[in-house]
Amino acid sequence: MATMASEPTGIPVRVEEHPQSFIRKYIFSTDHKVIGIQFLFTCLFFLLIGGLLAVMLRFQLGFPGAALPGGDLLPDTMAPDGIILPEFYNSLVTMHGTFMVFFAIMPLLVGVYANYLIPVQIGTHDMAFPRLNMISYWMFLVSGLVMLSSFWVIGGASAAGWTQYAPLSASPEASGVSTGQILWILSIAIFGFSSLLGSINYITTVINQRAPGMTWFRLPLVIWALFITAILGLLAIPVLTAALIMLLFDQTLGTTFFLPTEGGQPLLWQHLFWFFGHPEVYILILPAMGFVSEIISNGSRKPIFGYKSMVFAIIAIAFLGFIVWGHHMFQSGMNPALGMSFMISTLIIAVPSAIKVFNWMGTIWGGSIRFHTPMLFAVGFVMLFAIGGFSGIFMASSPVDIYIHDTYFIVAHIHYVLFGGSLFAIYGAIYYWFPKMFGRLINETAGRIHFFLTFVLFNLVFFPMHGLGMEGMMRRIYDPSQYEHLADIQDTNTLITWAAIGLFISGLYFGVLFFWSLFRGKPAPDNPWEATTMEWTLPSPPQHGNWKELPTVYHGPFEYSHPDVEKDWLSQNERPDVVSPAHH
Amino acid sequence: MTSHSVDAGASRYEPTTFKVKDKKLGMWIFLASEVMFFTGLIGSYIILRWGAATPWPVPGEVLNVPITAGNTFLLICSSVTMVKAFAAIEDGNQKMLKVWLLATAIIGACFVGVQAYEYTELVHHGFLPSSGLYGSTFFTMTGFHGFHVTVGVLCLLWVAIKAFRGGYTQADHQGVEIIGLYWHFVDLVWIILFTIVYLI
């Protein structure tokens, strides 16, 4: 840290030393870093659950009617003699989607990294409302456990799909699930409240707590992405909460909002759900794009190409995200003219998305690339996200969508953007920030093996699904072999299942690597990646309160290969006049 | 450390904080989310009502409009007393702050009381949340508004207790301002709800 010269700003420090008990320090902590790490462990657990459910439902599709290995452990209401029941299969599909979207990907992106990164990257001691932050985590944990518990109630877990279409979700007679369904609604309502508290915190902190000199256009792109994501969550999730309350009353108080027999409108549910659901899609991808921007700039040793266009693309995607929800409903019998306008607004999103992809390529172009594990995942993200983006254009075009609607084509698409996109970026982010969070390094070779396994197996699982969809294999189907037109693609389904089992094992391998590195990894230096954002000028891991005195920011976030300095990076809070010049 | 030794290099930059303080900003952000929540409920009501296959009851047929009109007047009065409380502490008048805060809380509680009376009367006449779409939307929307008023009254009492302990000064009274923002918001929502549920 010889060249580090963060100047004291003279701003009074409000953090006092906290000689605290174990419980206040690690359990009911208000420290944003501890909360971020709590989210990380909890989400990895839920990611495991979601993966396990995926393997189970994949087993049924690959080997219809065969006994699930270890299925004897499941009660007879789920899998008698280890053979998965159709009702239980519906619960598996529903809960796989629910756990992955709400309890794994979304909080991994936002709960973990908004909490951990915002204060250390913008240069402040903690979040604006540390106590709300703590409550936000604990409500999240409660909502996840409520959701998990619904497997063990009478009737089993919700079976209405993660989109909870009414009237399946609105009446116990429709899906055969009543208690589990109510628990689903309550869990997501609690989750929404947790997310609201988080959003208020992130937005206020970014607006009000930036260090001196950290102007809006010096914010690292990951902060921009998390900031805009928080606004999306703030405005979209309450609409879901309102819809959930109506659904809950339909289930419990005898109201008839979504029950067509009593004058209610099931289509209203779809509109409300997707008014939330489409911004949700961007909640699930924008932070991932932020991580990837950081990592690609670092791995290419070049400033990000087109910083401002990146920022405006994030804002444009977020704005457009609110006016495209109807593209999920082309098949609902909507007015074709309305469908057309939703189609056009959806296709326009391809523009800011393409701007981002081209900017990443422009950043890599001509860089002296370091293919460290995070960089591999970031480049993998760009490739897979591009494929997911192209298949998205098929579905955005309503004439094509009518053919592929609710088939495995859409399953392929969503996994290319959510797994190939979001989860690859999350893996990259975990590798990238692991040294800072835990003060230890993950072995590079072991990390690269994880990347190649995941990349190959991912494509083996999901690429053939495009074909399955074109062949007419319906989404959420229990047994494809019972349909004549799907009988000859059973081999593909079996192949996918084997690859999915391999993908799950590569996930377990990552888990082992993660925990092994946590205890046995080599101690990490402060700045192992030679990165420019300010968290890397702190010790690994940073102490409580992050800074003794707030830093002053002098540069933009991506000052790599600056011509005036000898080393090829410049921290945001490094004073220009103390940096040794290159050729003078 | 003193605050006048701010680094000269840093002060050249544009400010990196907003002139609104954290808690007030947080309340505004929270209210933005509340707007979306009530928009969800009200939007659904509009869709369900104007898309309904059977005719909607005319105003006054089921609901007692005069009583609720009185109640609406009451709630608007509570916004006035809330403004008065804020004005009092702006002038440093501790006594009137307590008076107006308590007045606001009491009027708010009266509003909830009248609503509870209205609900019991309706239930007594067999009008329930399960009474078709009309019952569904009426009880959900007014119920959630009533819940918000109840939370507001509890927060007002909290603020009033702090005021009685001398917790607010002419220079620092953010708590009063923040509960005021929430209270006016809840009031505004009611004016919209009263119009579309009772009058139209």
Domain spans of chain B, in order of start: 18-199
* pLDDT digit string, tens, across residues A562-578: 888 888 899 999 887 66
Mean pLDDT of B3-26: 63
The boundaries of the domain holding residue A553 are 538-584
Q: Residue A26 has what pLDDT?
A: 80
Chain A: nearest CA to B48, how far in angstroms?
7
Domain range B18-199, its CATH number among 2.40.50.100, 3.40.630.30, 3.40.50.300, 1.20.120.80: 1.20.120.80
Domain for residue A546, yes or no? yes
Residues of B with CB below 8 A from A263's CB?
52-54, 132-133
Residue B18 pLDDT more than 80?
no
Domain for residue A557, yes or no? yes
* pLDDT digit string, tens, across residues A407-433: 999 999 999 999 999 999 999 999 999
Chain A: nearest CA to B146, how far in angstroms?
15
Residue A559 pLDDT more than 50?
yes
Mean pLDDT of A520-538: 95
SS3 of A357-388 = HHHHHHHHCCCCCCCCHHHHHHHHHHHHHHHH
Q: What whole-number distance in Å separates Cα of residue A320 and Cα of residue A338?
A: 16
Q: Residue B14 has what pLDDT?
A: 60
Mean pLDDT of B91-99: 94
Domain for residue A570, yes or no? yes
Domain for residue A517, yes or no? no
Q: Across all residues in chain A, what is the average pLDDT? A: 92
Residue A273 pLDDT more than 50?
yes
Q: Residue A358 has what pLDDT?
A: 96
Residues of A with CB below 8 A from B34's CB?
238
* pLDDT digit string, tens, across residues B49-72: 998 888 898 888 889 999 999 999
Q: Residue A13 has what pLDDT?
A: 46
Residue A94 pLDDT more than 90?
yes
Q: How far out from the chain centre does Cα A498 lie?
A: 25
CB A294 within 8 A of CB A530: no
Domain for residue A358, yes or no? no
Closest CA to A437 of A206, A103, A132, A117: A117
Mean pLDDT of A126-135: 94
Query: Where does the pLDDT of residue A313 fall: very low under 50, low under 70, confident under 90, or very high at 90 and above?
Result: very high
Chain A: nearest CA to B8, how far in angstroms?
9
Q: How far out from the chain centre does Cα A222 lie?
A: 13
Backbone angles phi, psi at B52, to 5 degrees: -70, 140
Q: Residue A566 has what pLDDT?
A: 83
Query: Where does the pLDDT of residue A172 fall: very low under 50, low under 70, confident under 90, or very high at 90 and above?
Result: confident
Q: What whole-number distance in Å separates Cα of residue A32 and Cα of residue A133?
A: 7
Chain B: nearest CA to A205, how far in angstroms?
8
Mean pLDDT of A56-85: 92
Mutate to test the interface with A, among B27, B136, B140, B178 (most CBs of A within 10 A): B136
- The Cβ of residue A567 has, within 10 Å, a number of other Cβ atoms equal to 13
Place of tokens 């080393």: A567
Mean pLDDT of A448-457: 97
Domain for residue A260, yes or no? no
Q: Name the residue with higher pLDDT: A435 or B13.
A: A435
Nearest residue on chain B to A195, alpha-carbon basis:
B33
CA distance to A159, A251, B47, B114, per residue, from A256 (Å): 20, 9, 14, 26
Backbone angles phi, psi at A286, to 5 degrees: -60, -45
Mean pLDDT of A312-316: 97
* ipTM value: 0.91
Give me the number of domains chain A comprises: 1
Question: Looking at the partner chain, which of A128, A200, A256 has a beta carbon nearest the beta carbon of B30?
Answer: A200
Q: Residue A17 has what pLDDT?
A: 52
Longest dimension (CA), chain B: 73
Mutate to test the interface with B, among A9, A133, A271 (most CBs of B within 10 A): A9
